[in-house]
């Protein structure tokens, strides 16, 4: 029986064979498997790909650097912690490290000369009761693009594109960043979108952080940014303006499209700590699954506390939750 493979499969297969980065090779193998029609004529092909995926996964889990994996793989994966992983990218001297410094307890090297940041740095930002992981990264320019950056960006939940409003070449610097990412088949968009038909491309949601807002008193540069990036949410920031930093924190949280849900013990008051993080639209059952699959299986009903509800309202598993809700599970 013929395999009836789509034309894109063969192009992607050539890239898979040429790829030397183990993580990217694993991603391409998974895309190849997804593209194979599922019928008897492709059983062996599917089995072979699954074996390759399994082998690559084991190599990555064990830190195996064989089979052409490059040394940069030391940096191309950062384990997600907290509610979400957010990566800050931008041109040299854009302000990424300054923002990570002021928004977290990390102390990245900050200087007035370009290319200060040499490797990625992860740190935790607190937004109200949620912990969000920020990743500071080396700059992107015509002269430099660290190859491991592609994997970091692809696996992040959100991209913050940081620029310096004092930069006389502001829009050109950002255009270079966008072009370098497109060369790596990464497309930035103002909202979450379906992945393109071509599996070689990755679409990432992004927001703009327009840093050093007081160097643009007239707002002319922010206007140029809005024209160049229509639809993208922009957050003017300054390390001497706490309100601007708070707006950026909230903007990041809202851009992630997640909610915080708190668990409540029967007969106890609600404690707004250690929230369960769910995507917008998450249900009571989803929250229970985050605790344990057996807990979700045995759940009979729940009681809800939150804005617009009466205290202790009884709900079923499919009840849709909202940010700030507190749940009392009954099994």
Domain boundaries of the chain, sorted by first residue: 7-71, 76-255, 258-330
Q: Do domains 76-255 and 258-330 have the same CATH topology?
A: no
Q: Is the pLDDT of residue 249 over 80?
A: yes
CB 88 within 8 A of CB 137: yes
Could you read off the pLDDT of 39-96 as tens digits, one per residue?
777 888 888 889 988 888 888 777 644 444 333 345 677 889 999 999 999 999 889 9
Q: Is the pLDDT of residue 138 over 50?
A: yes
Nearest to 209 by CA among 86, 93, 96: 96
Cα separation, 91 vs 207, in Å, equals 15
Compute the mean pLDDT over every residue in the chain, rounded to the nearest whole number. 87
User: Which comes out higher in pLDDT, residue 1 or 120?
Assistant: 120
Residues 6+ apart with CB under 8 A from 238: 211, 212, 213, 214, 244, 245
Cα separation, 80 vs 24, in Å, equals 18
pLDDT at residue number 152: 92
- The string of DSSP codes covering 132-168 is EEEEE-----SS---TTHHHHHHH-SEEEEEEETT-T
33 C-beta neighbours (distance < 10 Å), count: 17
pLDDT at residue number 187: 94
Q: Is the pLDDT of residue 189 over 60?
A: yes
Q: Taking the mean position of all CA atoms in its chain, how far away is CA 54? A: 24
pLDDT at residue number 66: 44
Cα separation, 92 vs 122, in Å, equals 19
Cα separation, 54 vs 43, in Å, equals 16
DSSP state of 311: T
CATH of domain 258-330: 3.10.20.30
CB 101 within 8 A of CB 134: no
CB 97 within 8 A of CB 116: yes
Indicate the pTM of the whole model.
Answer: 0.80
Could you read off the pLDDT of 156-185 as tens digits, one per residue?
999 999 999 999 889 999 999 999 999 998
User: Which comes out higher in pLDDT, residue 323 or 267?
Assistant: 323
Domain 76-255 has CATH 3.40.630.30: no
pLDDT at residue number 139: 93
């Amino acid at each position: 029986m013929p395999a009836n493979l789509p034309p894109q499969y063969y192009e992607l297969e050539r890239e898979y064979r040429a790829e030397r980065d183990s993580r990217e090779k694993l991603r391409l193998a998974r895309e190849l498997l997804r593209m194979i029609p599922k019928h008897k004529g492709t059983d062996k092909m599917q089995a072979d790909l699954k074996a390759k995926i399994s082998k690559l996964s084991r190599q990555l889990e064990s830190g195996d650097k064989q089979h052409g994996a490059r040394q940069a793989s030391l940096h191309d994966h950062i384990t997600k912690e907290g509610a979400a992983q957010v990566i800050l990218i931008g041109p040299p001297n854009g302000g990424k490290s300054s923002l990570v410094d002021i928004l977290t307890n990390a102390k990245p090297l900050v200087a007035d000369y370009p290319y200060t940041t040499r490797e990625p740095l992860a740190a935790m930002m607190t937004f109200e009761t949620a912990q969000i992981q920020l990743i500071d990264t080396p700059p992107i320019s015509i002269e430099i693009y660290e190859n491991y950056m592609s994997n970091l960006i692809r696996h992040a939940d959100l991209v913050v594109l940081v620029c310096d409003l004092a930069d006389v070449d502001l829009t050109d610097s950002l255009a270079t960043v966008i072009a370098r990412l497109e060369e790596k088949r990464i497309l930035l968009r103002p909202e979450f979108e379906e992945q393109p038909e071509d599996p070689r491309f990755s679409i990432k949601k992004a927001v703009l952080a327009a840093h050093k807002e007081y160097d643009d008193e007239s707002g002319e540069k922010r206007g140029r940014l809005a024209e160049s990036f229509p639809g993208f949410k922009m957050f003017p920031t300054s390390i001497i303006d706490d309100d601007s930093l708070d707006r950026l924190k909230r903007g990041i949280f809202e851009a992630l499209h997640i909610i915080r849900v708190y668990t409540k013990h029967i007969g106890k008051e609600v404690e707004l700590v250690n929230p369960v993080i769910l995507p917008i639209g998450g249900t009571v059952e989803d929250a229970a699954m985050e605790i344990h699959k057996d807990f979700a299986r045995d759940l009979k009903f729940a009681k809800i506390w939150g804005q617009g509800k009466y205290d202790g309202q009884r709900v079923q598993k499919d009840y849709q939750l909202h940010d700030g809700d507190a749940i009392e599970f009954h099994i």
